[in-house]
Amino acid sequence: MRSRLLFFLLPFVLLSFTIKKKEPQHLIPNTKIQTEINRDSIIAYAKQYLGTPYVYASSNPKKGFDCSGFVSYVFNNFGLTLPRSSSGYKNIGKALKPEEFKVGDVLVFYGYKNRNVVGHLGIICEANGMQSKFIHASSGKAQQVTITALDTEHYTKRFYKCVDVLSK
């Protein structure tokens, strides 16, 4: 009986000596963790989604984005968690002066009809004060991720603030 058991177990014992051990997970560097996020990299990543359809309440690039879904998706790729709803930006960060705007800063706008409610977001992709350009998921005519000038009347009159979400 014992010899049959050994005969049966022998292949398993031999196999266990030939299997290579994997490196422990904690020794593999996490490429998403960075001490400083390159602002140009954020914009390059965001521009990959130009033309992605606008879809309300979505942060799925395969389906589409709404404005806050797009912003949170882009920054999440760089390990930064931001509010998923545009209303979450009302009290976030210190408002920057136009001359302080930088690529990668988040523009915060009031809603189209209500100036008490935050209703739209975008990421500055060309910094030039109130003449900056920003990338965003537009629910307007474009109905997609697009680049728009901040100095258009539609956005100038809805402008609430610009915040630097990258600096600590």
DSSP code of residue 22: P
Q: How many CA atoms lie within 13 A of 51 on its CB side?
A: 1
pLDDT of residue 113 exceeding 90, the answer is no
Q: Are 88 and 138 in contact (CB under 8 A)?
A: no
- Which domains does the chain show, CATH number per domain? 30-163 (3.90.1720.10)
136 catalytic? Reply is: yes
Percent of residues, the chain, with pLDDT higher than 90 = 74
pLDDT of residue 115: 85
26 catalytic? Reply is: no
For residue 99, give every residue at least 6 positions away whose Cβ sits within 8 Å of its Cβ, in sequence order, or none: 129
User: Of residues 26, 120, 125, 162, which has the active-site annotation?
Assistant: 120
What CA–CA distance (Å, rounded) separates 144 from 72?
16
User: Of residues 67, 125, 154, 162, which has the active-site annotation?
Assistant: 67
Question: pLDDT tens for residues 73-84?
Answer: 999 999 999 999
Output helix, strand, coil percentages for the chain, rounded to the nearest 5.
30, 25, 50
Name the band, by pLDDT with cuts 50, 70 and 90, for residue 40: very high
pLDDT of residue 35: 56
- What length is written for the chain? 168
Question: What pTM, to 2 d.p., does this model score?
Answer: 0.79
pLDDT of residue 132 exceeding 90, the answer is yes
User: Of residues 125, 136, 154, 162, which has the active-site annotation?
Assistant: 136
pLDDT of residue 136 exceeding 90, the answer is yes
Q: How far apart are the first and last CA of the chain?
A: 70
How high is the mean pLDDT of the chain? 85
